[in-house]
Amino acid sequence: MWQKAINSSISISLEDNEGNDDQEQAGVEDNERDNGNNNNDDNDDNDVGEDEDNSGDSAAAEKKGDAPEPGAGMEQDKQVSGGNFPNEKHGWGLKRNDEHQQPEMPSWLNSMLERHDSYWVGSPEDKVIYLTFDEGYENGYTPSILDSLKANDVKAAFFVTGHYLDSQPDLVRRMVDEGHIVGNHSDTHPSFPEVSDSEIKKELQVVEEKYKNITGQTGMKYLRPPRGEFSERTLAVTRGMGYYNIFWSMAAVDWVPMKGGAQEAYEAVINNTHNGAILLMHAVSKDNAEAMDRILKEIKNQGYTFATLDDLKR
């Protein structure tokens, strides 16, 4: 069951929100890596939270290559619209704490998320963790991560881009075969508030079609907004398509190598666990892959259980 955000004010300026996820977008990898945590500097007037936990949905993580013609071979377009909802852009980011408490969230944002069935954390009463990964391109570490998940009997959600589906069909099939959820992370990883309703629909439908061609499955229902950027309009459009927007309550700057390597990756997670956490990680990280088995075992040792987004959803 989804936990409603806490009614408290918190600074709405952010420096390394998931906008780093921008690096995941086709054709901008090198640029975005240089920008590191600052991909949302031009929108910081409405960024959510403060700093470290904005997930760098690593811009570098989503990748390269020319996008296919949007909408090619797709099923009939779903009739949805953002209507008159505001299109003010926000970047997701939360300030971490080492007290194992859920982050605070402004009441205005909590209300917006609830209106559109969006999620960022589970119940504060349940010692449960929801594990998610963003997959923009393959850096050679997803097989190891999948091995660790299987060895520890943990199911996760993997949010994939169009490029990832094009380049890694075997890994996507393995995710499905081993019981993981595959979610939509858009085709070319644009900032949704910066594109039209119809472009958003095409971005998601291209991924749906590619996923269907690879796995034979339909009915994708979980979305991680590219770059962690959203507006009330984009929440409305995507919910109208049947998607639940999935944000996160803990993350780390893991789309680039960590100075402390696998030990730092381990501590970044273990020091910030909390009830109902939706944990965002990037599978492009060697450090994450090397620490994964230890992370999963220690989370269980702390008395947590792992659940899936299907368990979280109302």
The more confident residue out of 33 and 256 is 256
pLDDT value for 82 = 67
Tell me whether residue 180 is one of the annotated catalytic residues.
no
H or E element that contains 176: helix 169-177
Q: C-alpha angle 224/67/37, rounded to 5°? A: 45
pLDDT value for 67 = 36
Q: Which of 18-22, 65-69, 139-143, 274-278 has the lowest mean pLDDT?
A: 65-69
Catalytic residue among 90, 163, 185, 282: 282
pLDDT value for 255 = 87
pLDDT value for 80 = 58
- Yes or no: say if 111 and 258 are a contact pair by the CB < 8 Å rule: no
pLDDT value for 5 = 35
pLDDT value for 126 = 95
The more confident residue out of 188 and 82 is 188
**Residue 127 and residue 53: Cα distance in Å, rounded?**
20
**Residue 215 and residue 172: Cα distance in Å, rounded?**
8
pLDDT value for 18 = 43
pLDDT value for 48 = 52
Tell me whether residue 134 is one of the annotated catalytic residues.
yes
Give counts: helices (H), strands (E), the chain: 10, 9
Catalytic residue among 51, 134, 197, 287: 134
Query: Residue 214: what residue type?
Result: I
> What residues are paired with 230 via a beta bridge?
90
In CATH, which superfamily holds the domain spanning 18-64+115-312? Glycoside hydrolase/deacetylase (3.20.20.370)
What's this model's pTM, rounded to 2 decimal places? 0.80
pLDDT tens digits along 257-287: 999 999 999 999 999 999 999 999 999 999 9
Q: Is the pLDDT of residue 17 over 50?
A: no
pLDDT value for 81 = 60
- Yes or no: say if 138 and 170 are a contact pair by the CB < 8 Å rule: no
Q: Give CA 274 to chain center in angstroms.
A: 18
The structural domains of the chain, with segments of one domain joined by +, span 18-64+115-312
The more confident residue out of 231 and 58 is 231
pLDDT tens digits along 166-197: 999 999 999 999 999 999 999 999 999 999 99
